[in-house]
Amino acid sequence: MSAFVDTLRSIGLDVETAIALEQELDQLPARTKEVFMLRAQGYTQEEVGERLGIKQPTVWYHVWKCEHFRDLFSIKVPKKRTYIGEGVVTSDYT
């Protein structure tokens, strides 16, 4: 079993569901999967952006694409973004 399946099992999922979710995750683009895995490991969105050299809206986009997985790890993504000046973003989270 993979580390991802072990992680899913540790939060209470059965083996079959964990394997199915892993297969679904494998279908995502590489960058989306990379962003999601860092978030699932507990990195903040800011830390993910810094590690990967991408901006916050890009991190949010990739996490948003992982809808089935966000709920498992209680990962919040903005549902509405408000831009205030240059490069400053505030958000309401889902």
Q: What are phi and psi of 33, to 5 degrees?
A: -65, -40
Asked if pLDDT for residue 28 goes beyond 70, the answer is yes
Q: Tell me the two tokens of residue 8.
A: 């899913």
Q: Which residue has the higher pLDDT, 86 or 69?
A: 69
Domain range for 46: 3-93
Q: Which residue has the higher pLDDT, 89 or 30?
A: 30
Q: What is the tally of structural domains in the chain?
A: 1
H/E element holding 68? helix 67-73
CA distance 57 to 50: 13
pLDDT band at 70 (very low <50, low <70, confident <90, very high): low
The pLDDT, as a whole number, for residue 2 is 82
CB 11 within 8 A of CB 4: no
Please tell me the least confidently modeled range out of 18-22, 45-49, 73-77.
73-77
CATH number at residue 34: 1.10.10
Q: Which residue has the higher pLDDT, 13 or 82?
A: 13
